[in-house]
Amino acid sequence: MVEQNVSKPTGIATARPARGVTSIMEGSMAVARAVKACRPDVISAYPITPQTHIIEFLAQMVADGELDAEYIRVDSEFSGASVIGGASATGARAYTASSSQGLLLMTEVIYYLAGTRLPVVITGANRQVSAPISLQPEHHDSQSLRDSGLIQLYVESAQEAYDTHIQAFKIAEDHRVLLPVMVCMDGYILTHVFEPVTIFDQAAVDAFLPAFDPLHYLSPQRPMTFGPIADETNSLEFHFLIQQAIDNARGVISEVALDFQAAFGHYHGGLIDAYCTDDAEIVLVAMGSTVSTLREAVDQQRKAGQKVGLVKVRCFRPFPDEELRLVLQTARVVCVLDRALSLGSQGILAGEVKAALYDAEQHPLVLGLLAGYGGREVTLETVQQIVERARQAAESCGSQVGLDFIGLKPELLDLPRTTNGS
């Protein structure tokens, strides 16, 4: 008997959830519709594939008079992040979107946004970072920002992208948090694919997400100095407070997810979402669009009598150490599917999962697998292969544990080398 979505809270007393209209739309349109419903005051826009459709849809909404926002066509992603920072510091709700090199170009500003406690929302349409240049989905771009204080939520479907953007503003602007939030969605697989998406009434979104109520902002009525110099006497305390805020976000993210369920009837997990994990011997761990493939794979494995489960890491920052410990420590093997590799170390998610399990009472074997890397497709066959490896690893008690490049093509590695002629 397969238990469906064990982590989903049930029996929440609530009024009937808001009704929505469901239609087929591109993932980027779902994001644009969500952002519009959140009534941003200022949007900055700079094109980069595969994020561009989002800002194009928003531009059209502004041009058609459907969205009353200042839409700033910036000169770079660096300026794009800076514009929303300035707007947020002036008490405005602000949004932008980017990908890949664009997110890297924003990096300096993103540290600043978190350090100055500016609660903006950014969409990160995940794409590989050069070199080699590629447009395909990978998580290096967003995961490289993991130490910045930016909250990161990863979604698995266009519907979750829509729902999570509405949640993102509420999380960011909560006075217990006041940090930037990035909603990460795999490029193409989620940004360009057409799926059924339920769009909710503006009134329902307004009831869920009140107007931005900034704690501090720039105003001649009450002059304040933002961005002072810290030194050895106070810098530690600044960072203690940011860490406290991002820790507060753990509770706020879970709370907002439940509030969203009560208001709209949709739930995609809190910090994580566990599927068929209660009795699982092998648990797959992943983020983003891969998760929806893995759900089907788990169903297939269960039908074949295999005790396989799945954990979606929905929130990568703050990292759900405690939640993962609780759900993973009873498994025999944990397979972490990574779309990003910390070159010279291991898959980024795998490393973090291992660190989380260090404090667990029981220690399952953890396999780090690069799957979906550079956009290479993760199919049900890929998952079958991974489950097989997990079983072998369990039998050999982990003697073969190491980084696994799933689907590596040896024939591409054997190119004849030429000398430089010297």
Partner 1 sequence: MAARYEQALFTPGHRACPGCAASLAVRTILQASGPDVIIVNATGCVETFTTPYGYSPWGVPFIHPLFENAAAVASGVEAALKKKGLADKVKVIVIGGDGGTLDIGMGSLSGMFERGHDVLYICYDNEAYMNTGVQRSSATPVGASTMTSPAGQAAWGKEQPKKNLAAIALAHGIPYVATASIGFPKDLMRKVRKALEIHGPKYLDVHSPCPIGWGFDPARTIEVAKLAIQTGLIPLYETGYDLPLKSRRIGTPKPVEEYLRLQTRFRHLFENGGRQHIAAVQAVADENIRKYGLV
Using rule CB under 8 A, residue 73 touches partner 1: yes
374: left (phi over 0), alpha (psi -120 to 50) or beta: left
Stretch that binds partner 1, among 28-36, 79-87, 323-331, 400-408 (CB under 8 A): 79-87
DSSP state of 402: S
Q: How many other β-carbons are positioned within 10 Å of the β-carbon of residue 325?
A: 17
Tokens of 100: 């890949």
Stretch that binds partner 1, among 83-91, 130-138, 165-173, 313-321 (CB under 8 A): 83-91
Tokens of 127: 């794409």
Q: By C-beta, is 86 or 251 nearer to partner 1?
A: 86
Place of tokens 């929303």: 84
For partner 1, what does the binding mask look like between residues 349 and 368, x meaning CB under 8 A? --------------------
Residue from 72, 125, 185, 387 that binds partner 1 (CB under 8 A)? 72
Please enumerate in sequence order all residues whose Cβ is within 8 A of that of 83, keeping only pairs 6 or more positions apart, or say none: 42, 44, 72, 74, 94, 96
Q: By C-beta, is 243 or 362 nearer to partner 1?
A: 243
Q: By C-beta, is 233 or 420 nearer to partner 1?
A: 233
Using rule CB under 8 A, residue 89 touches partner 1: yes
Contact 401, 365 (CB under 8 A): yes
Give the shortest CB-66-to-partner 1 separation in angstroms.
Answer: 16
Using rule CB under 8 A, residue 63 touches partner 1: no
Tokens of 93: 């709700």
Residues linked to residue 70 through DSSP beta bridges, in sequence order = 42
Using rule CB under 8 A, residue 87 touches partner 1: yes
Using rule CB under 8 A, residue 271 touches partner 1: no
Q: By C-beta, is 78 or 300 nearer to partner 1?
A: 78
DSSP state of 175: T
Q: By C-beta, is 116 or 330 nearer to partner 1?
A: 116
260/254 Cα distance (integer angstroms) = 10
Residue 310: enclosing H or E segment and its boundaries?
strand 308-313
Using rule CB under 8 A, residue 70 touches partner 1: yes
Residue from 11, 65, 132, 223 that binds partner 1 (CB under 8 A)? 223
Using rule CB under 8 A, residue 236 touches partner 1: no
Contact 5, 277 (CB under 8 A): no
Contact 69, 62 (CB under 8 A): yes
Using rule CB under 8 A, residue 329 touches partner 1: no
When computed from its CA atoms, the radius of gyration of the chain, rounded to whole angstroms, is 22
Using rule CB under 8 A, residue 334 touches partner 1: no
Q: By C-beta, is 71 or 374 nearer to partner 1?
A: 71
Using rule CB under 8 A, residue 109 touches partner 1: yes
For partner 1, what does the binding mask look like between residues 4 and 43, x meaning CB under 8 A? -------------------------------------xx-
Distance of alpha carbon 118 from its chain centroid, rounded? 19
Using rule CB under 8 A, residue 211 touches partner 1: no
Tokens of 379: 């199919």
Using rule CB under 8 A, residue 224 touches partner 1: yes
334/133 Cα distance (integer angstroms) = 32
Stretch that binds partner 1, among 58-66, 80-88, 184-192, 404-412 (CB under 8 A): 80-88
Using rule CB under 8 A, residue 110 touches partner 1: no
Give the shortest CB-147-to-partner 1 separation in angstroms.
Answer: 17
Q: What secondary structure does DSSP assign to 339-364, as a single string?
A: S-B-TTS-BHHHHHHHHHHTTSSS--
Residues linked to residue 154 through DSSP beta bridges, in sequence order = 184
Note the residues at the interface with partner 1 (CB under 8 A). 41-42, 44, 69-70, 72-76, 78-80, 82-92, 94, 108-109, 112, 116, 218-220, 222-231, 234
